[in-house]
Chains A and B, each alone.
Chain A
């Protein structure tokens, strides 16, 4: 059995390759500015897509590789571009697709997969004859293999869409996936300046700061790579401290793997208390300094 993984993010590609190389012979295709290490994660062949890519021309290039190589399985990592490409490729091939899987097994020619359903509230396990999937980021931790992939370049055609400008985002190097303690802030923090009042706790516990989606995306109080949740990072620290986070299911999906959870919220009915080991009902701005003080004693 042979498959291919496509991604436009090297770190996510390497995770997916680490997972799928244990299931079948796997190739990879990447569309990325300057791919450095993609050849080290067990793909037999590695295709570099070159040019300026959008959903249309990236899909065309991927389809030409798929047609030539005749794969049994196609895996596309779930990024903004990946999902678009998956929609186009599955339509062009006329094949059924399952989105956002985080587990995959082959059982007597049937495929068994898992994905979140109902907005993250449940996990659906499904059996199918599907051959195309989008794969959630972070399926396993990436690990290298000694053999390098055999690399070739694929030049893409022009897209119907044109690029006007690229706007860089400040890339930081937080490693939430490996943090031991995470202090996570939600909209309950009220304003960006209030983060100063949380930092003494972050320092006292030697933790990493993270946030909910509104905090990272809508208000940009924190950088986007600190967002925990369904569409953000999936974290599994020893201790997760949620401050002013309501605990919507999309947030829970990213922190469910935490060993212990502390939640502080002024609303007694907040759903985060259902996902907490220790909860405090109250104003986080009063409670946080009390904890810091107690820790210093």
Chain B
């Protein structure tokens, strides 16, 4: 039989069993309709999520000791000490110039951190490392460009970065700031407060006369994790400088910061019920042949046993990919519009990322179907085959979700088991300058999308190889 006729034979078999085509249709429907369970409940939040200049959600909260700067100017300060109650590595203390007081406003800052040395950051997304040991900081404004420098001794300065804040008004607030994100502990976080000892700031340029004013910025934004118990934000002046305690963060917001927010990847949760249905159908396409002895006819009609398996795999992969793609391509835009209409905050994702999640999910369904076909060929018993595939493609994800399991195990499970393929569904971004709970439960996978899919494909290729060897060696 030619390859095309072989394909047609398998295609006809697939269509002629009503339960199989029906099963794939059910799988697609599950993906399409599943997000409905997420609609209930209240996702109200006290205040809107601040949106940064690049359109991304941000955390914008910190203790600010400020004065007005009307024009060009410079501020220099020594950070003599920085400590936080829980020792958060991204505790920050330094100098900042902000474009405005509304949440999500542009800013540029140079800072000492708890565990990452001196950094210059601006507009939430941008982070540049400076010296690890410097303790003197300087911020210089000229028009809308800001230069950050650091120094070990306050005499020899090295520039970290020069950045532009487009549209910066002439009069801005600038001064000292202290921020401290929540400390990540296992799969949870604990609020933390940082306390910094500053020397007396040296000012040059167009600073308005007046006193330093201290206040917590963004205390009511959703991303503000609060203070460590018993250590509120404060600001005290002494003869030799200021002691400032504060909490919060200036950074892109993650799922951990906006728990009421949804990610587009969440809308694909129907993948799991769909996977189980697809696994059952795919297993049956081979085990049914063994059960009814049809396999003898199939193998004697085809010239090569390997090609019979390949034809089955092609039909299965094609059907599940097509059905899955239709479901995901319809489901994501539809449900995104719907939940945005309900006022639920959704983490933004560019169209390319959404398309990758849609195509990737269809690919995961197709590859798992082929995996199930291969396992079914190897073990020849439906129940054993279905269980093997479900235990390797669904159970590890469940275990990674279970909160009482140690977090390294969750990382391991989503990196080295077939579940790694679900990385294609990640639509949120992992930021190196933000420590948060980067777990699959929050929509973050340890592997990049296509690498994750490659892991799943690797297991499938192995199973397929074993299946074709056994199919050739065994009687049938």
Q: Real complex partners, A and B?
A: no
